[in-house]
Amino acid sequence: MNITDRFLKYVSFTTTSDEKTNLTPSTPGQMIFARYLVDELKSIGMKEITLDKNGYVMATLPANTDKDVPVIGFISHMDTSPDASGKNVKPRVVENYDGSDILLNEEKLILFETDKYPEILQYKGQDIIVTDGTTLLGADDKAGLAEIVTAMEYLTEHPEIKHGKIRIGFTPDEEIGQGADHFDVKKFDAVWAYTMDGGEIGELEFENFNAASAKVTINGLNVHPGYAKHKMKNSMRIATQFVSMLPRHETPEHTEGYEGFYHLTNIEGTVEKTLLTYIIRDHDRDRFERRKKEIQHLANKINAEYGENTAIVEMRDQYYNMREKVEPVMHVVDLAFEAMKAVDVKPNVKPIRGGTDGARLSFEGLPCPNIFAGGHNFHGRFEYVPVQSMEKAMMVIVKIVELLEKKS
């Protein structure tokens, strides 16, 4: 199966994750997709294929060389982001893209405008997979899955390419920060790995945000509004006060590069109770810790004004910057860099303004830098992926294992 058909098949599965279920995987569609992947891996000749009760898929492509080659792995995630619908995805391939705006949905007049997303112009003449403008596409990270499986199939069909033992792993629930929760590093048994979970072609990343989630509960008191003076505590109004106390320009829409942020992702409220959900991000560990303290500090100020336990903060660290774990073994990054250049991809080494399963796995003893999967505009209705970028990512995987065997 070619990489385009494989990707189009993958996005037909509904695998949106949901942090509210407290299950692993968090949604049943992920397990359905995992079973499909297991069958596919069997069909292309993979060995040691496992699917555990938590939805983690692992498999092996055995070595075809007598050399002592380090075991390495490639990892992607099966879920898609809950930020946009991933149900009934209707992808379309725009062949030989001509550089003009793309009408995604004629019925609803949804237009992909190049002046809003000019990055697409660099792919003029290529084949672009887009949505119908009503759902996300799922290139994050089904493009990565398709690239890994296609690379394994290619290596099986081309035994003249010598390589060591290769492990692959597919995880659930990465998009809700739980992808590495039940990943068995010992069972995976690789010296290092790569997540195929980056963005546009050429991205190569070994540093990422430190990340935490924060839930701020504002407790109020409801009284009939006609008799509420000096009695009512409107939790929604207090919540908006809390929101306004955070730096207004330290948000995703005002930051780039190494700049961190506070991101309000959800508000649910009544007069009696309002819940604010935040994610906190910063590449620098000290600034990250200060951001967490600032959330608690502002909650303390609310409590000083409105009474004890008006604002209650629940904080949870999600992952840390993998740089401190990858820098001591920079040869794993250098290998990917060399592989990209060998297949005519210009490496773009940059920090991830986000995180991957590899960030947490790096702290569990599996150094795991991140390689591009090829997509753009992840988590939204205007997501797209060039076919040629996926093909190049697949070639990078093949070249990594080939170069490693030659160097061993």
Q: Is-contact 401 342, C-beta < 8 A?
A: no
Whether 145 and 37 have beta carbons less than 8 Å apart is answered as yes
174 catalytically annotated: yes
Residue in this structure with the two tokens 């774990």, named with its chain if needed: 325
What's the pLDDT band for 14 if we cut at 50, 70, 90? very high
Q: φ and ψ at 400, to 5 degrees?
A: -60, -50
Taking alpha carbons only, the member of 40, 316, 327, 82 closest to residue 170 is: 40
SS percent in the chain: helix, strand, coil, step 5: 35, 25, 40
Provide the percentage of residues in the chain whose pLDDT is more than 70: 100
Residues 288, 324: Cα–Cα separation, whole Å: 15
What stretches of 137-255 show up as alpha helix (H) in DSSP? 139-157, 185-188, 235-245
Beta sheet of 128-130, edge-to-edge order: 92-94, 128-130, 384-386
Please tell me the predicted confidence (pLDDT) of residue 207: 95
Chain length of the chain: 408
Q: Cα 104 to chain center, whole Å? A: 24
252 has a pLDDT exceeding 90: yes
Query: Quick one: pLDDT at residue 78?
Result: 98
Question: Please, which residues have CB within 8 angstroms of residue 240's CB and are 6 or more apart in sequence?
Answer: none
d(CA 232, CA 176): 36
Residue 399 sits at φ, ψ, to 5 deg, of -70, -35
97, pLDDT greater than 90: yes
Q: List pLDDT tens digits, range 281-338.
A: 999 999 999 999 999 999 999 999 999 999 999 999 989 999 999 999 999 999 999 9
% of the chain residues with pLDDT over 90: 98
Domains, in order of start, for the chain = 3-208+321-407 (3.40.630.10), 210-319 (3.30.70.360)
Per-residue confidence band for 234, with pLDDT thresholds at 50, 70 and 90? very high
Condensed to tens digits (0 to 9), the pLDDT of residues 41-93 reads: 999 999 999 999 999 999 999 999 999 999 999 999 999 999 999 999 999 99
What local confidence, expressed as pLDDT, does residue 372 receive? 97
**What residues contact 27, with CB distance under 8 A and at least 6 apart?**
15, 16, 17, 18, 21, 79
Q: What's the predicted TM-score (pTM) here? A: 0.90
Within a 10 A sphere around the Cβ of 42, how many other Cβ atoms?
12
Q: What is the pLDDT of residue 89?
A: 98
Residue 356: pLDDT band (50, 70, 90) is confident
Alpha carbon distance 33, 84 (integer Å): 19
The residues with which 214 forms a beta bridge, in sequence order, are 278, 315
pLDDT the model gives residue 124: 98
The catalytically annotated residue of 174, 203, 391, 405 is 174
**How high is the pLDDT of residue 222?**
97
Q: pLDDT band for position 355 (50/70/90)?
A: confident
Q: How many alpha carbons fall within 13 Å on the CB side of residue 218?
A: 28
- Please name the residues in contact with 7: beta carbons below 8 A apart, sequence gap of 6 or more: 129, 139, 142, 143, 146, 385, 390
Which string of b and e fits 177-188 if b means at least 16 CB within 10 Å? bbbbbbbebeeb
What pLDDT sits at residue 27? 98
Q: How confident is the model at residue 402 (pLDDT cuts 50, 70, 90)?
A: very high
**Residue 191 pLDDT greater than 90, yes or no:** yes
How far apart CA 315 and CA 229 sit, in angstroms, is 34
Per-residue confidence band for 146, with pLDDT thresholds at 50, 70 and 90: very high
Higher pLDDT, 355 or 132: 132
Q: Where are the alpha helices (DSSP H) in 18-70?
A: 28-43
Q: Is 371's pLDDT higher than 90?
A: yes
Residue 40 annotated to the active site: no
pLDDT at res. 231: 95
Q: Pick the closest to residue 360 from 398, 403, 396, 317 (CA basis).
A: 317
Backbone φ and ψ for 55, nearest 5 degrees, come out as 90, 15
Question: What is the helix (H) or strand (E) element at residue 233, kind and residue range?
Answer: none
